[in-house]
Amino acid sequence: MGENPAKNHYAQLNQGEENEMEIFGYKTQGCRKALCIAGYFLSCGALLLLFYWKPEWDVWANCIRCSLEEADVVLLRTTDEFRIYSRKTVTWISVSALIQSRLNYPATAVEDSIFSKAIMKPSLQVKSIQVQRIRYVWNIYAKQFQKVGALEDHHTCSAIHAKFGSGLTCNEWNVRKVICGPNTIDVPVIPIWKLLIKEVLNPFYVFQLFSVCLWFAEDYMEYATAIIIMSLLSIFLTVYDLRQQSVKLHRLVESHNNIMVTVCRNKEGFQELESHHLVPGDMLVLKEGKTLLPCDAILISGQCIVNESMLTGESIPVTKTHLPQADNFKPWRMHCAEDYKKHVLFCGTEVIQTKADDTGVVKAVVLRTGFNTAKGDLMRSILYPKPMNFKLYRDALRFLMCLIAFAAIGMIYTVCVFALNGEEAGEVVKKSLDVITIAVPPALPAALTTGIIYTQRRLKKKGIFCISPQRINMCGQLNLICFDKTGTLTEDGLDLWGLLPCERNCFQDIHSFPADHSLPWGPVFRAMAVCHSLIVWEGKIQGDPLDVKMFEATNWVIDDSSGHQIEGQGSTHATVVRPGPKASSAPVEGVAILHQFPFSSALQRMSVIAQEIGGEQQVFTKGAPEMVAMLCRAETVPLNFESKLLLYTAQGFRVIGLACKSLQAGKQSTDLTREEVESDLTFLGLLIMENRLKRETKPVLEELSAARIRSVMVTGDNIQTAVTVAKNAGMISPTNRVILVEANKIPGSFSASITWKPLEKNKPEDYRGLAKAMGLEPRSPRVFTSALPVEDDSPPTTERRIGLALASGQYHFAMSGKSYQIVAQHFRHLLPKLLLNGTVFARMSPGQKSSLVEEFQKLDYFVGMCGDGANDCGALKVAHAGISLSEQEASVASPFTSRTPSIACVPELIREGRAALVTSFCMFKYMALYSTIQYLGVLLLYWQLNAFGNYQFLFQDLAITTVIGVTMSFTGAYPKLVPYRPPSQLISPPLLLSVVLNILFSLSMQVFGFVVVQEQPWYSKTDIHSACLSVNNHVENSSSISSLGLRGMRDGAHGQTDNGYKSYENTTVWLLSTINCLIVALVFSKGRPFRQPIYTNYVFILVLIGQLGVCLFLVFADIDDLYSKMDLVCTPTTWRISMVIMLAVTLAASFLVEEAVIENRPLWLLLKKTFRYHSKSHYKRLQRVLEQDSAWPPLNETFFSDSVAISVEGSMGGHSNPTFDSNEDTL
């Protein structure tokens, strides 16, 4: 039964967000409910169990469709490819006790908030549902469920100051508290009984319970008991693991749930209360000293320095400034654009310093509470992980379905054989059901899990921690890795290399570091001393490594001890910098930093307002040179600015632009907007930083390149610096071409242009073209050349070289975040072509990084992302395998965390992923063969109304398969990465052929043994001792013994010695099938090229030798008691040798086929070529198309888009987390 979205019955929850869901309204119907309850009893709970697994069936059976307004039950469905359903009951919250009359709470009538829109009159009740720990209430006007626990986005900056600046009244607070619930990120420790029930109700364990009941009915006591013990062990291990995770998560959040805070109540002043009473809109007062934040809050007065390492993994203190009192109609978040998070204090972070302004207190308005906060969002991403869509897991289900279909054929065969032979109906049912338990291997999930656990353990030894084990197999498929640059490919710290000062619009001589003489006093020196966001924390200067290096070069010190009386500013907590003991003489006592506009990755700059003690106020700005130059007056920027900038960036230096201006006296620094401050600046010069490659970067990238794994750089740095680093690191080989892709919006219209420009090393034409590629907009033709660069005069040899490089596909695209955004909006059809050869993406914002990873995934790449900072958080979550280089054991932001901050972990993870993937395939193949071998043996014996004995099953299932399943996964990863990946799907021709051929070999051998044993001269159907007696010349006794034949023994005459299973066929088939399991295990345990050779797995080899020894002992030993226990009979030595020969032939055939056909890569490549098979991956298809396209890439050409742009607001988001992501609309 599907869902037809009818009017008012269907809506969308969290539209456009990562956790978007469809919601359907239903009403419980009494007669349907009664029928279902009757069904539960009649089916002995089976129907209830089915409804537990399929909540949508439960709702469809018990309820009727209705509008969401009338619904008492809602059905939710995810909008991703998994379409997972969940059922939620609608609850009612009463607020009548809080609102006795309209006068008592006048805000319910007028306040434009969800709280007033959710209260139903006259019942004064609120209708709500709780989904993934977040509460939604029914908006009676908008007719939809809306999230509560967060301040509405529509408030303007001035409205936040006006409405919430003096706090909520007691009435408002009470109503909000009841509707929102407590401000806690409550992750309770799940009781063991709950975990047990949840685990036991897993379909796999339910199937095992069915199997065990069947075995007890058939008196397979030992095996049933063994399976119970194994299952209980598996359940307890899983429950223990889940319990440990639950305890760990609980400890991670419990400290934030009860903190004493000070709030301001309207008309009632300040109050101390516990943090779980906070509601959105509350006014929080931050006191001096360290404070843990129990919610997300907007700073509305003062300044804070916060340690956000808990959320981002970056231990650099972050400066937060108060929300401006802008008087416009834009919502506050749109007004602040990407900078909004500079005003937001996030839950779970620690305030380490507060600086009050004129009001004397630091105040913040509570923005989000509970699971709506940044920390709550991260907790929910752990509690409700996004399911992984990986072919292996889909194929595993198909594989089990095939086995069940296989078992169904066996069941029909069993029913026919036993029914035709006149067996009792009960026996027929038991025997036929038994076939299912034989054909479907009960140990498969456990065996697969052990493989992943071993890999996880090996990774942990190498300093790589994993919080999402199911992604390990995915790492084996990675074929594209995105790397952040700074701190990932290059050293974290920058070294100050030089300073290029500028006076009267001319560059002066470069000042190199470390220099013999110190920097002279002047505007550039002042800029270096004050234009930063450094603080003194625990006796050390802390902050951005770039800022630290720049400040240390001045030899000044930060005096952060107390408030300073600054002329015209009143008493304020300004940071003052003073000359240190080693500093050169300066004509001032110190400089006070009055106000900061923190660094913004969208604006690519930061500014401060500073004042010399006793002097005038000045603005200092530093940032991306292209951006700083645009903010300066054209006459102060040197004419050779572009060429100088390119000279240094082309050598891989990180270049920072500096600028300043004087402020008019008498203006309060806090009243100025950022736009006013950062305009008409005077250009001061360029600060040149050296960013060295890490020692391991080049070898790792070369290893990945040799393994045909693409490397892509995604950075926030300058495009030319990024290209140079990519060349130095080996991402771009010296013979390959780099083509700059530049896209611009055409002013005054809705269209855009895109230009392809080859980047020639140190060619003057390129300097002109690069100005725009790096984001420089022309202000004056004297400073910037905006004409499109056309290389008409380039020599023919260069053209020929470019042509050759392009024809062979040896070219790389480089583009900036701005160009990427415009291409995504206006040239959507070109984006896949650009991504196919895109290697350098510079000046990328966090949201663009996430979007880029998702676009690569749309091309069917398996994408890994390796980064180290908060800016990469979204991309780390979105990628198939996100690897965070953080010193913390596990960064909450990514599935993998490497303790050593080096990209050497990337090939290590791919190696282990490939080994784990191949191990999974081996395990699948082995389990399929083991169950099929046993299944074929049993069906053969059923032909004679015989079967394997209990101990025979026990030996095969426990002593052979379980031990092999546990030890097969011990094989480590092969140290060399080969230039191809293991297959990604179970249902691939080589794998299927391997399974089918081995099944045929097993079937042939068992049938051959079964038939040939009956042709032997000593064979007797009724006398199971005839073989050994005839050998000993006791033929005359055969007739007397035959009278005590199989029938007599079944009747109980020899109850202790025979239970009806003993026969020559049984002995032959069982011994052949048991040793066949060992042969298959050996043949399938392949080593190279993805795993180490099998002989390195000592445990597995010893196990195989031991098992083979025991099996051969059973073949050749003639111990009556042992044979009697194992339901075996004595056969002549010649027949035993014949069986060994049969097994040897099977081993040889199996091994030969596996090596010569299945693992013969050249053969499969030849077959692909012969049958013209091409990869169906999107990027492979695109590659083939572009190879035929002589016009691609179009060099020195400009294309224009149609006037209609595609809105990419939704697609640019990637993983949306308020701490790290940002609104990209302003770009």
Write a three-state SS string for 944-991. CCCCCCHHHHHHHHHHHHHHHHHHHHHCCECCCCCCCCCCCCCCCHHH
pLDDT(1016) > 60: yes
Instruction: Tell me what percent of the residues of the chain surpass a pLDDT of 90.
Output: 21
Tokens of 1161: 């890569």
Residues 328, 330, 332, CA angle at the centre, nearest 5°?
Answer: 100
Q: Residue 1170 class from Cβ within 10 Å (0-12 exposed, 13-18 middle, 19+ buried)? A: exposed
What is the rounded distance in angstroms from the CA atom of residue 1191 to the CA atom of residue 1194?
6
Give the pLDDT confidence of 216-239 residue by residue, as tens digits: 887 777 777 877 887 787 788 778
pLDDT of 440 over the 50 cut? yes
How confident is the model over 702-725, as pLDDT tens digits?
A: 999 999 999 999 988 778 778 888
Q: Which residue has the higher pLDDT, 162 or 669?
A: 162
* Both tokens assigned to 910: 């791919």
User: Per-residue DSSP letters for 1003-1072?
Assistant: HHHHHHHHHHHHHSTT--SS-TTHHHHHHTT-GGGHHHHHTT-HHHHHTTTTTTT--S---HHHHHHHHH
Give 1135-1182 pLDDT, tens digit per residue: 999 999 999 999 999 999 988 888 888 888 888 888 888 778 888 899
Beta bridge partners of 711: 481
Judge contact between 881 and 857, C-beta under 8 A.
Answer: no
Of 10-19, 142-151, 471-480, 869-878, the poorest mean pLDDT is in: 869-878
| Cβ–Cβ under 8 Å, residues 631 and 679 | yes
Q: The tokens of 1039 are what?
A: 């007739």
C-alpha–C-alpha distance, residues 1116 and 9, integer Å: 73
Per-residue DSSP letters for 708-722?
T-EEEEE-SS-HHHH
Query: What is the Cα–Cα distance from 845 to 545, expressed in whole angstroms?
Result: 20
DSSP 12-40: EESTTSTT-EEEEEEEE-HHHHHHHHHHH
Three-class secondary structure of residue 815 per DSSP: strand
Of 569, 777, 605, 785, which Cα lies nearest the Cα of 681? 605
E strand intervals along 195-307: 260-265, 269-274, 283-286, 291-292, 296-301, 303-307
Cis peptide before 1132 (omega within 30 of 0): no
- C-beta separation of 688 from 500 below 8 A: yes
DSSP-derived secondary structure letter, 1220: T
Q: Rounded CA gap, 184 and 295, in Å?
A: 9
Run of H or E including 319: strand 318-321
Mean per-residue pLDDT for 171-180? 87
The answer to whether residues 234 and 353 touch, using CB atoms and an 8 Å cutoff, is no
Q: How many CA atoms lie within 13 A of 447 on its CB side?
A: 24
Strands 344-345 and 144-147: unpaired
Confidence at residue 805, expressed as pLDDT on a 0 to 100 scale? 53
| Catalytically active residues, by annotation | 484
Entry pTM: 0.75
Confidence of residue 871 (pLDDT cuts 50, 70, 90): low
pLDDT at residue 516 in the model: 57
Alpha carbons 289 and 305: distance in angstroms, whole number: 11
* Distant-in-sequence, close-in-space partners of 408: CB < 8 Å, separation ≥ 6: none
**Which residue from 688, 759, 691 is spatially nearest to 729, judged by alpha carbons?**
691
Closest CA to 738 of 827, 808, 839, 834: 839
Written as six digits, the tokens of 420 are 């035709």
Tokens of 330: 């834009």
Whether the CB-CB separation of 920 and 933 falls below 8 Å is answered with no
With residue 404 as reference, give the H or E element that holds it.
helix 391-420
Residue with tokens 């992980």: 385
Q: Output b/e per residue, 372-390; b: 16+ Cβ within 10 A.
A: bbbbbbbbbbbeeeeeeeb
The two three-digit tokens of residue 258, written as one number: 């009860």
Let me know if 873 is exposed, middle or buried by CB neighbors in 10 A (0-12, 13-18, 19+). buried
944-965 confidence digits (pLDDT tens) = 888 888 888 888 888 898 889 8
Confidence category of residue 1217, pLDDT binned at 50, 70, 90: very low
Element (H, E) at 754: strand 752-758
Q: Is the confidence at residue 373, as pLDDT, over 60? A: yes
Element (H, E) at 447: helix 444-461
- CB 271, CB 291: distance < 8 Å: no
Tokens standing for 401?
A: 């379905």
Amino acid code (one letter) for 131: V
**Could you report the per-residue pLDDT of 568-627, keeping only the tens digit for each?**
444 456 788 888 887 777 778 888 888 888 887 677 889 999 988 878 888 999 998 988
Concatenate the DSSP letters of all residues of 223-251 into one string: HHHHHHHHHHHHHHHHHHHHHHHHHHHHH
- Sorted by sequence, the CB contacts under 8 Å of residue 559 that are 6+ apart come out as 575, 576, 577, 578, 590
Read off the tokens for 295: 């919610």
Dist CA 278 CA 295 (whole Å): 8
Task: Look up residue 616 and give its amino acid.
Answer: E
Q: Is 267 helix (H, G, I), strand (E, B) or coil?
A: coil
Q: Which two tokens stand for residue 343?
A: 């005003």
For residues 236, 240, 241, 243, the Cα torsion angle rounded to the nearest 10 degrees is 130
pLDDT of residue 1107: 94
**Of 122, 125, 56, which is closest to residue 90 (Cα–Cα)?**
125
Residue 762's CB is within 10 A of a number of other CB atoms, namely 10
Integer Cα distance of 659 and 340 in angstroms: 24
pLDDT value at position 536? 82
* Contact assessment for residue 268 and residue 283, using Cβ atoms and an 8 Å cutoff: no
Q: What is the mean pLDDT of residues 878-882?
A: 88
Round to whole Å and give the CA distance between 802 and 1066: 74
Q: How far apart are CA 873 and CA 875, in angstroms?
A: 6
How many angstroms separate the CA atoms of 782 and 780, rounded?
5
Beta pairing, strands 296-301 & 344-345: antiparallel
Q: Give the SS3 label for residue 759.
A: coil
Name which residue leads in pLDDT, 388 or 262: 262
Q: Is residue 1210 very low, low, confident or very high in pLDDT (cuts 50, 70, 90)?
A: very low
Distance from C-alpha of 463 to C-alpha of 1122, rounded to nearest angstrom: 50
Between these two residues, 878 and 1083, which has the higher pLDDT value? Answer: 1083
* pLDDT tens digits, 1094-1151: 889 999 999 999 999 999 999 988 888 888 888 888 889 999 999 999 999 999 999 9
Q: How far apart, in whole angstroms, are the C-alpha atoms of residue 736 and residue 739?
A: 10
